[in-house]
């Protein structure tokens, strides 16, 4: 197994995007995670676990379809773990994603 570091709703300079917009932060964090997977020859189908770190589990529950629809579209079925924290860096970040991939499979 290989752990993919946490991805948040940040631009390439580390600046927060979509402050106060939970679904947009979640979508951007997922897009950044997918880009990291692609750079290593992987896809979301290689995900074993998706870790959601959030300051607001209720907001995640309301926006969960952002992840579920994207993963279903690419036939990915990772175990999803949600962990509540008091805050995420930088201030204003509502959600971040980390993952574990199966490294027994050959990269695509």
Q: Tell me which residue of 74, 65, 68 sits closest to 43, measured CA to CA.
A: 74
pLDDT in single tens digits along all 108 residues of the chain: 889 889 999 998 999 999 999 999 999 999 999 999 999 999 999 999 999 999 999 999 999 999 999 999 999 999 999 999 999 999 999 999 999 998 776 554
Range 2-101 classified under CATH 3.40.50.150: no
Axis crossing angle, helix 22-39 with helix 65-73, rounded to the nearest 10: 30
| pLDDT in the model for residue 107 | 52
| pLDDT in the model for residue 106 | 55
Q: What are the sequence ranges of the domains in the chain?
A: 2-101
7 and 29 Cβ atoms separated by less than 8 Å? yes
How many angstroms separate the CA atoms of 3 and 98, rounded?
A: 8
The structure's pTM equals 0.91
| pLDDT in the model for residue 5 | 87
Helix (H, G, I), strand (E, B) or coil at 8: coil
């Amino acid at each position: 197994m290989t752990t993919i570091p946490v991805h948040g709703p940040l631009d390439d300079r580390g600046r927060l995007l979509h402050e106060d917009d939970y679904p947009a932060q979640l979508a951007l964090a997922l897009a950044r995670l997918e880009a990291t997977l692609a750079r290593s020859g992987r896809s979301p189908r290689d995900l074993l676990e998706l870790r959601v770190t959030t300051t607001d589990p209720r907001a995640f529950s309301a926006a969960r379809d952002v992840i579920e629809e994207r993963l279903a579209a690419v036939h990915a079925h990772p175990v999803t773990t949600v962990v509540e924290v008091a805050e995420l860096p930088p201030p204003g970040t509502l959600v971040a994603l980390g993952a574990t991939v199966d490294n027994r499979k050959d990269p695509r």
